[in-house]
Chains A and B, each alone.
Chain A
Amino acid sequence: MWKVTVKGLLAHKLRLALTALAIVLGVTFVTGTLVLTDTLHNTFTTLFGHIYQNVDFEVRGKAAFSSDTGAAVRKPIPESVLASVRSVPGVAYAQGTVSGYAQFVAPDGKAVSTGGAPTLGFSYDPNPQLSVLRIVSGTGPTRPDQVAMDQGTAQKYHFAVGDHVRVLLAGPPQTFTVSGIVRFGTADNLAGATLAAFDLPTAQVLFGKVGQFDAVDVLTAPGADKATVQHSIAAVLPPGVEVVTGQTVADEATSSINNALSFFSTALLVFAFIALFVGAFTIFNTFSIIVGQRTRELALLRIVGASRRQIFRSVLLEAAILGLVASVVGLALGVLTAVGLEALLKGFGITLPSGSLVFEGRTVVAGIVVGLGVTVVSAISPARRAVRIPPVAALADYQATEVESSRRRLLIGTLVLAVGVVALAVGLGGGTIQLVGVGAAAAFIGIGMLAPVVARPMSSVIGRPLAALFGMSGKLGRENSMRSPRRTAQTSAALLIGLALVSTIAVFGASLSKSATSSVDEAVSADYIVTASGTGVGGFSNSVAGAAAAVPGVAAVSTVYGGQFEVQHSLSTLTAVSPQHLSATVILRMDTGLGAPALAAGQLLIDSTTADAKHLAVGDTVPVTFAQTGSSTMRIGGVFKPNALLGSYVVGDGFFLSHFDDPLPVAVLVRATDGATPATTRALEHGLAAYPNLQVQTRAAFEKSQQAQVNQLLGLVYALLGLAVLIAMIGIVNTLMLSVFERTHEIGLLRAVGMRRRQVRAMIRAEAVILSLFGAVIGVVVGTALGVAFAASLSKQGITDIVVPYGSLVVFLVLAGLLGLVAASWPARRAARMDVLSAIAAE
């Protein structure tokens, strides 16, 4: 039987190679993702281990919030702690550190952008054993006018020691002299973040922490017992301050990065599995067709004594060998792809530190298990069909009959679809994202099973214009696609899923985009919105609001702050606005209670969604915790309608500033006397020229940039889904190729009675276009429904408008048709080249 299997594989090299390609691509994606994330994980672990390898202990404020994990918010500690720590026996060296926002300005006057990474300012510790920064050239900063710059920024913008550089700070921008170029441990910079190091007293002033430290780093004396020292330090610390080992700090830093990485890796793996899911349909289809074409051969094997079990095993073994080979190829390509993915992310502005590729045993196992598993599972159903072939099928005049009744298929398909839809509904209605995934997969399988029922009438309708346009070739193509509804449906199933997902995203994206626009209109009454440029998370200077207010033509200015606090013991984002200019800048529609007066009175406003979810009402008192000022309670002064800018919890800026040290504005809202005019825009831009990290946008421009962000994300998702569509296309090529082989005789006959090569090609193309459009039409319909359901389920999360982008959907259909044409080109050429005589003689 082994020999038969191998011979079978060799006899169908080409069609199997095409099938394998689907698996190869899927495994490549999985492997690439794992290798990339393992590599990143390793890079960060090494980096942080390196940075903290000499630090024995760190003394720091306790994490403010119990519910907080990753990057904890900590209160600065008083300077006096340093003296206490230094006095502890066994402490060889201790130094305080502070950090904060500092962003370089490039020589061209533009702020150095990081593509989302933070722009960090540090105090520089001259002790080389302790400092996280390593001097590459020059010296550390020792005077108030000096700054040390990270090597990444220095190289990119050609800064050298001795150059002047402007630095944007929480306060007004200042100019410094570059005293030295530094590296962060072994890296030129930290994952794309920029670093500005100042001497300690300067840093304390710049970061608003005079008399305070963020942490104190400690080295123990040689020979001292570390546990004892840690214990002794703990004994001298004031309440709210803790001492932890350097290892703990490194682990915390690593784990917070890994949380971000695992989200990223999960997202990529989701797309990898979509690709494999689509690939599974392709494999299933190919094996079904191959088994069908080998009916006579398999029956002959039965006649000469092969058992059903042997036939079953033979087909599965064929699949297993194919899956294994494809997985191994996929593994190899995956490593290459990891490099490519990194470049792709770089293209989208996400810079990552480089490190040598990490290829873990787990990656090999995962790649092979997934590739092999998907192939074998997909081949089970065709193998079962092979088993049902009766020996009599080997006889020449045997007519194959449909083994499986279509009624049973209809029943099972409907059942699977129903389960999928229910799972989807539950998942979208507040269940888990996993449930949504399982529901979608089940729904697609159900649709795949039901599709053959409509394949014949739909192919007939889709093919009618083609038949009218291309005469006999079009008509024959249409007839061919109608000939085996099951094959048509199976072939287009992959494309169906691909297009369904693309359409879902299109509907969801359009709704998101529209909601973003209308929510800006409903949230903001200001004429201008000033924010940090790029995807900046660093915020900007406190002095911007003052500078904007001084610009002629500006009527009112309001600074919006954002920060983290704990409410009812869960970590949430708190937004602060000025009650003074509230109505001029923000649209706050109150359901109950008061707006501005409540804010001025230091009360908390919550949005109606949160109020409903948490059963809160005006007058209730909720427990809150702030990092800097500790726990207290707040009275709810009002409930407002959801506002995209403000989020769920809002306080007045006065209250906010008294509870947050050194907060950074997230936006400055500007109301102009005459509305947004080009003159005012110019004046505002001029007035804020000192802050090159800012972008001044009119409300319309802000909306547009919000949309652009959504669209950029959509572009990335489309690119990732493109792989699934590519696999679907391979499936179509494969099926057409198999059909051409199968119909050799028929094509020969057509050629003999006078069909031109061109007409043969047109016939195959027509069939391909019908196949593609069949999948695409169902896919777009299903995807649109899914997208609408998805968007509707997120109405409370701010997707208020549901938009069906008909234009895009039509474009998808046209593209699918073109894809069919492309997929047909090789099989069509093959069919047209067929030698007439040998085609007729073929048996």
Chain B
Amino acid sequence: MTTTTTDQPAAPAPAPGPAARAVDLVKTYGRGDATVRALDGVSVEFGRGRFTAVMGPSGSGKSTLMHCMAGLDTPTAGRTFVGDLEIGLLDDTGLTQMRRDRIGFVFQSFNLVPTLTAGENITLPADLAGTKVDRAWFDLLVGQLGIGDRLGHRPNEMSGGQQQRVACARALIGRPDLVFADEPTGNLDSNASGEMLAFLRRSVTEFGQSIVMVTHDARGAAYADRVVFLADGKVVGELAEPTADTILEQMKRLGS
């Protein structure tokens, strides 16, 4: 399933084992006749140091998959792992700690705490944990994202693209095992989208970050190393080294 990244020599060698995986994941909502099987036996692995896109039409279960794997939602059946850690065994405190220390989030909207400045938002997970921020890493991220002059501003003083870049920095600051990005460019114009995706791509290539991105934009998914297609709660296909064309082609095939 894994492909070696021979064309990206700058990336450090990935550690053995996937960054996260799901085994026979089932999630149902409602009961009786009204039961909806949002996930219907999904088994999937997300490679370490890889950029994986999860695609599928609305209601295919892609967001549910992400929520279950990030410990935000509890699956009805099946097991989920972040690294070697089985998150189904964790209580709320354990889940909170796992999210804080091992996972980064970028949401479609409302990514920042409005009362905190950009800089404070970025260091929020570390501040919550009471740990020190790696200053060099912080400066590097801020520089890469081009938000160095925005650190003292509050979210409502920034553009959507700037806010989303701050959210990216926050997701990456703790060098998490995995970053979940849920439609991160959904609210951005094409310019900001491009910058955003290029940065995500670079963080995988240059820093070896593992990223899972849920999207339904084929051009966005083309930045990934691999695309997993979901439909009706099942994995229905996947694509390595995708381009926008191959993705659209695959989607067309699955859609019919």
A: which residues have CB within 8 A of B? 471-472, 475-476, 479-480, 482-483, 745-746, 749-757, 759, 836-837, 840
Contact = CB atoms under 8 A, between A and B. Distances in A.
B115 A479 contact: yes
A471 B73 contact: no
Contacts of A479: 115-116
A752 B99 contact: yes
A753 B115 contact: no
A478 to B, nearest CB: 9
B100 A749 contact: no
B115 A756 contact: no
A756 B105 CA distance: 16
Interface in B89-114: 92-93, 96-97, 99-101, 105, 107, 110-114
B115 A480 contact: yes
B73 A752 contact: no
Interface string B118-130: 0010001101111
A754 B114 contact: no
A753 B169 CA distance: 12
A228 to B, nearest CB: 90
Contact of A840 (B72, B100, B130): B72
B234 interface: no
Nearest to A472: B127
A745 B100 contact: no
Contact of B111 (A480, A749, A751, A755): A749
B67 interface: yes
Contacts of A476: 113, 115-116
A195 B150 CA distance: 86
B67 A837 contact: yes
Contact of A837 (B73, B113, B114, B124): B73
Nearest to A477: B115
Contacts of A482: 115
Interface in B126-163: 127-130
Contacts of B125: 753-754
Dominant secondary structure of chain A at its interface with chain B: helix
Given A471-B130, A476-B116, 19 more contacts: A471-B127, A472-B128, A475-B127, A480-B115, A746-B110, A749-B107, A749-B110, A749-B111, A749-B112, A751-B96, A752-B105, A752-B107, A753-B124, A753-B170, A754-B101, A754-B125, A755-B100, A837-B73, A840-B110
A757 B92 contact: yes
A479 B113 CA distance: 10
A467 to B, nearest CB: 11
Q: Which of A471, A475, A837 has the most chain B CB within a 10 Å cutoff?
A: A837
Contacts of A755: 96, 100, 128
A476 B113 CA distance: 9
12 contacts: A475-B127, A479-B116, A746-B113, A749-B111, A749-B113, A753-B125, A754-B96, A755-B100, A757-B92, A757-B96, A836-B72, A840-B110
A336 B92 CA distance: 46
Contacts of A836: 72
Nearest to B98: A754
Contacts of B93: 756-757
B46 to A, nearest CB: 19
A47 to B, nearest CB: 65
Nearest 6 CB-CB pairings of A with B: A754-B100, A479-B115, A472-B127, A837-B72, A754-B125, A837-B73
A745 B110 contact: yes
B74 to A, nearest CB: 9
B114 to A, nearest CB: 7
A756 B96 contact: yes
A750 B127 contact: no
Given A472-B127, A837-B73, A753 B114 contact: no
Contact of B124 (A472, A483, A745, A757): A472
A750 B129 contact: no
Contacts of A756: 93, 96-97, 128
Nearest to A399: B156
Contacts of B96: 751, 754-757
Contacts of B124: 472, 750, 753
Given A754-B101, A837-B73, A840-B107, A759 B128 contact: yes
A756 to B, nearest CB: 5
Nearest to B74: A837
